[in-house]
Structure 1
């Protein structure tokens, strides 16, 4: 046995947040996040897609068993277009999408008739059991497709119901607070997506927000109330075919998020996302961060007067990658 002059170097620095990171340049797609609970180090698996797949299998099979269906052994193959070719995450809600796809696949495998509502609820339970926070809006988008007005359900109610009732009973109930409405965009409306080329984590950003929620109770309630009014006005824009009103509320939402980030001392709009938004605004688009912020994507609403090609070219010159995706309408058969 002999040692050679090739080395591994490990450095350690104090984390700037409540979440720790174990990262290797050689295994950049397998970074591990962890939190401290008392003196114990607890691994955070919420960014591991297999956690969501296994949860979706577990809850969907539990539902099937309650329908007296005999369980079988199967192979489950997954292929995704939601990340780049080299495995980098765009931040398009891949954990939600893989949860929904797994739920649908298992229901079809066992021959269980299903509605969009059933798929949404089984997926939401599965996803929430792993992530422990978030709105499940990306679940709704994956199930229903198109443009949606979405209001999340009461999480405490759901937890209480799952503890005392069967899964079948829970998914057949009306969920307090839940509202999903399909919208039709005004003619000429276009959605553009720019990628900052920096990944972000929704679950950890929500963790940081929840840590400050008690201390900022009044501000938090005001943020929720103002955001609700913003969304309602935006829905009115869709209903009245008023793209100017939609764009105005996108800008209002951005300001609300910027204020929310300041009072919580968290990063939502990193410099590259600010640049993405400012470039879009200079071409007449209305833009904001998407999802968790602090990386990933920004979205832009444009109308027929926007020179989208020139906008994309300016993005590229500033290190922002346009994602050529279109809004997708989903039918139940998909």
Structure 2
């Protein structure tokens, strides 16, 4: 049996802006994992199985008179896409295909099946790509896994930055800028998959960051799951109408995140904390002009409590639920902060940053 794992992620700063070219975000990988095990099937029939994913509900939208199923929150869609593209890559290397059983096990949901917002679709994509490459004996680098996973994920989701893919592949703290989606779509139409993954992708930047000594990341869970893909749909629909304000948001977000990266490079916790607060204000304004709920009341409560204890706090990811993050230093009374969270229906998640120290 071959088992591969991929960590979940949290966005620290740069959400929504990261969907565009030249707009960085900062993410972190956390020590909660999706594990994919693969074994050669004993029969001519293969199996894909997961305890966590058996009870998923289905979302749908109305397009004219048609009812269209929205499968973007269904993890099996990402698993199937990862299998399809990874096998296509293997076939191009003249590898003979086999039948196998795939078993998926995830830490990225709560005990009652609610999503924490740790990027489970990205992690399951990455773990599946790695497991299949290893099953077929293909030597792989982080870059190959990232590119196959990004293509697989994007083909299902149709939006997003693939920053969560990068965090699941590279681990640790990282600064990330997305690739040119139109370029990738065009390349995939006219070139082999092997050629596309061996090219330099315009716009893509992945930089590992070293956190300042004494800096601590705290995570609070609102206990309300959210759907990133549908929130991104809503904001994408408003881009043209909000052109000037949207461009201003991108410019300010980029400036904020680059200052935060400087904070990492200069070992400066107060500088990072200052930009966390700046980014929160930018996202609040972005939510207002798009008429979407990013910072729901429970997340506002989470943030305000953290600020009362001297931490710098904001929503993480698309918002409207899921998690909030806090950047603290050694002077923060973490235990008292967490107790106050619990009193207000916010669950502290005691996850740690997951470092990946190797690349095949």
TM-score, normalised via structure 1 length: 0.90
Report if aligned partners of 2:293, 2:320 keep a CA contact under 8 Å in 1: yes
Q: CA RMSD in A?
A: 1.4
Query: Take 1:228 and 1:34, find their aligned partners in 2: how far apart are those partners?
Result: 34
Picking from 93, 103, 116, the partner of 1:77 is: 103
SS for the counterpart of 1:77 is strand
Partner of 1:181: 207
Query: Take 1:168 and 1:117, find their aligned partners in 2: how far apart are those partners?
Result: 13
SS for the counterpart of 2:102 is coil
- The alpha carbon displacement at 1:33 in A equals 1.5
Q: 1:229 to 1:172 in 2, by over 3 A?
A: same
- The alpha carbon displacement at 1:292 in A equals 1.4
For the pair shown, which has the larger CA radius of gyration, 1 or 2? 1
- After superposition, residues 90-239 of structure 1 pair within 5 angstroms as 90-239=116-265
SS for the counterpart of 1:325 is coil
SS for the counterpart of 2:104 is coil
Q: 1:218 to 1:239 in 2, by over 3 A?
A: same
Partner of 2:294: 268
- The alpha carbon displacement at 1:35 in A equals 1.8
Alignment of 1:304 onto 2:330: yes
Picking from 69, 82, 86, the partner of 1:60 is: 86
Report if aligned partners of 1:63, 1:167 keep a CA contact under 8 Å in 2: yes
Report if aligned partners of 1:29, 1:88 keep a CA contact under 8 Å in 2: no
SS for the counterpart of 1:75 is strand
- The alpha carbon displacement at 1:149 in A equals 0.5
Partner of 2:65: 39
- The alpha carbon displacement at 1:28 in A equals 11
- The alpha carbon displacement at 1:36 in A equals 2.2
SS for the counterpart of 1:295 is coil
- The alpha carbon displacement at 1:130 in A equals 0.5
Q: What's the CA shift string for 1:182-208, capped at 9, x where partnerless?
A: 000000011111000001011000000
Picking from 309, 319, 325, the partner of 1:293 is: 319
- More deviation, 270-279/34-43: 34-43
Q: What's the CA shift string for 1:144-176, capped at 9, x where partnerless?
A: 000000111111111111111111111111111
Alignment of 1:30 onto 2:56: yes
Runs of 4+ aligned residues of structure 1 deviating over 4 Å after TM superposition are: none
Tell me which protein shows more strand as a share of its residues.
Answer: 2
Partner of 1:88: 114
Question: How many residues are aligned here?
Answer: 308
Q: Which runs of 5+ in 2 are unaligned?
A: 1-52
Report if aligned partners of 1:261, 1:268 keep a CA contact under 8 Å in 2: yes
- More deviation, 81-90/316-325: 81-90
Query: Take 2:199 and 2:65, find their aligned partners in 1: how far apart are those partners?
Result: 41
Query: Take 1:63 and 1:194, find their aligned partners in 2: how far apart are those partners?
Result: 39
- The alpha carbon displacement at 1:317 in A equals 0.2
Q: What's the CA shift string for 1:259-283, capped at 9, x where partnerless?
A: 0000000110000000000000111
Alignment of 1:331 onto 2:331: no
Query: Take 1:152 and 1:81, find their aligned partners in 2: how far apart are those partners?
Result: 27
Q: What's the CA shift string for 1:196-227, capped at 9, x where partnerless?
A: 00010110000000111111111111111111
- The alpha carbon displacement at 1:39 in A equals 2.1
Higher relative contact order (CA 8 A, sep 6+): 2
Query: Take 1:29 and 1:316, find their aligned partners in 2: how far apart are those partners?
Result: 28
Partner of 1:4: none
Query: Take 1:255 and 1:181, find their aligned partners in 2: how far apart are those partners?
Result: 25
